[in-house]
Structure 1
Amino acid sequence: MQHQLLKSRLKSLWKTTSNYILIDLGYDFYIAKLPTKDQLNHVLERRPCFVNSHFLSVQKWVPNFIANKETITNTTIWIHLPTEFYDGVIFKKMGNVIGKLLKIDVCTYTTTSGYYARLCVEVSLTKPLKSSIQINNHSQ
């Protein structure tokens, strides 16, 4: 994504009231220097977020960060579930069993799409991914 487009989208998403600095570190890493502690806390509270349907991981700066040596330990995945599980409580439980539920697809949540349900889940790349989940007598 182009640097200025990303900066513009983040400003809108984060609802920052003043300009901030966005520095491209390469390897798809950026530093966002926000002008106030309040804005920094606001951005950190709103994580994780999506920009143009792409997951954006936001975290506080850590000393000695080197972009080309950084190891990614988490990623996001979209899970498709059969329509018989159209229930918000079940979605949340299933998503959190697999990893950390980040988002329920808008069409799924509003039940405007009936083919399958979609959940976005953050999973660890350092642990084996669950291949199935047992819900009563159903295995998914």
Structure 2
Amino acid sequence: MSLQGQYRPLNPRLGTHYAIFTSAFIALLLILALLEQLGARNLWLSHTMIIVPLFLYLSVAVLTRTLDLHEFFSVSRRIPPVFGGLALAVTAIGGVGLFSFTGSVFLIGFDALALAIGLIAGFALAAILFVPYLRKCGAYTLPGFFRLRFDSPLL
């Protein structure tokens, strides 16, 4: 199944905008690491690391707000499936997954990197296997897809 659909994207330069956002976040990390090496106070660095990304996320949320349910969950299906797969991965990991992974690396050591490799492989597999079918059937989440696919109210 091809991952390219017959849709007009929300923005032809959507990947460029995501790359700029990611580059800004990585630049923030590098600047803060540089400032830490130069002797800046850790309290100032930690507050900056929390406030600046939070401000970026809130600005994106305010600029793209909507009251339409279909627009909120899937941007009216106008984004490429790759970004849908990334959103599915981020939703599945969540904050608890991120903290549990860092805790397992701290306790177990580099042997816990096998968990990260399995996690990344699982998300890549989910993006390849599930996202095109989610788009085709109109479901927003995997439980919604299984409910529609198997026509069961229990799912």
Higher strand share: 1
Higher helix share: 2
Q: What TM-score does the superposition give when structure 2 sets the normalisation length?
A: 0.28
Larger radius of gyration: 2
Q: What TM-score does the superposition give when structure 1 sets the normalisation length?
A: 0.30
Q: Which is bigger in relative contact order (C-alpha 8 A, separation at least 6)?
A: 2
